[in-house]
Amino acid sequence: MNIKQPKIPQGLSSGNFQQILYEEDPHLSNLEIHGSEFDHEVLDRVHLSNMKISNSTFQSTEFKNIDITDVHFENCDFSNADLSQASIHRVVFSNCKLMGVDFSDGRFGDILFEHCLLTLCNFGDSKLEKVLMKESNLKNADFFNCILKKTVYSQCDLDGVSFDTTKLKGIDISTSQFESLVVSLEDLKGCIVSEWQAIAFARMMGLDVK
- pLDDT tens for 42-99 read 999 999 999 999 999 999 999 999 999 999 999 999 999 999 999 999 999 999 999 9
User: Are residues 183 and 164 in contact, defined by beta-carbon separation less than 8 angstroms?
Assistant: yes
CA atoms within 13 A of residue 149's CA, in its CB half-sphere: 8
Alpha carbon distances (Å) from 20 to 43, 83, 101, 110, 209 = 9, 17, 21, 25, 58
| pLDDT value for 133 | 98
**Domains, the chain, with CATH or none:** 30-204 (2.160.20.80)
In whole angstroms, how large is the CA radius of gyration of the chain? Answer: 18
* Alpha carbons 165 and 186: distance in angstroms, whole number: 9
Q: What is the H or E stretch that residue 74 is in?
A: strand 67-74
Q: What residues contact 31, with CB distance under 8 A and at least 6 apart?
A: 12, 13, 14, 15, 19, 51, 52
* Alpha carbons 196 and 154: distance in angstroms, whole number: 16
- pLDDT tens for 175-203 read 999 988 999 989 999 999 998 888 888 77
pTM of the model: 0.94
